[in-house]
Amino acid sequence: MLSERAQKIIEDKMNSLMKSKFRSSFHLHRKELAYIDKCGVDKIKNHAYEFINVKLKPANPINDGAQTPMKNHPVFIAQHATATCCRGCLEKWHHIPKGRELSDNEINYIVALIMTWIKKNYK
C-alpha cells in the first residue's frame, strides 16, 4: 500500500502525463483487458517488476530507447503512457538520471505508476 504522500506524487505525475498528446494516446484494448482478466492484477504487477528489473534497472540497458514494445502486454502499453519505457523518458519525465542502476525505491515508484495507470484503464 502506498503512503498518502506517494499516492499524491503518483496522482500529480499522472495528471502531468495526461496533458501530453502522445502519452494520453495509449489505451488498453480488448486483448490486453482479456489478458488481465486471465492472469489477474497481481500477476501483471509481477510482470511489471520483471520487465523493469531486466529492461530498465541496468545503468546502460541494452537497446535503450527501443527496448519496450508498444503493444501485446498491458505493462508495455502502460510504460509508454507513463513515460517509464526507457531511461531517456525516465530522466525527462521523472528526473531519474541515466547512467546508473535504478534503486529499489525507484523501481517501486515505476511499478506503482504503471499499476496505477493499468488500474485506471482496466474496465
Percentage with pLDDT > 90 across the chain? 85
Question: How would residue 118 be classed by pLDDT, with cut points 50, 70 and 90?
Answer: very high
Q: What is the CA radius of gyration of the chain?
A: 13
Q: Is 59 in contact with 100 (CB distance < 8 Å)?
A: yes
The residue assigned the cell 490486453 is 32
Q: Is 91 exposed, middle or buried (0-12, 13-18, 19+ CB in 10 A)?
A: middle
Q: What is the pLDDT of residues 17-31, one digit of tens each?
A: 999 999 999 999 999
pLDDT at 6 over 90: no
Residue 94 main-chain phi, psi, to 5 deg = -120, 0
Domain ranges of the chain: 26-58+68-121
Question: How would residue 1 be classed by pLDDT, with cut points 50, 70 and 90?
Answer: low
Residue 2 main-chain phi, psi, to 5 deg = -80, 145
- Assigned C-alpha cell, 49: 517488476
- Assigned C-alpha cell, 95: 528526473
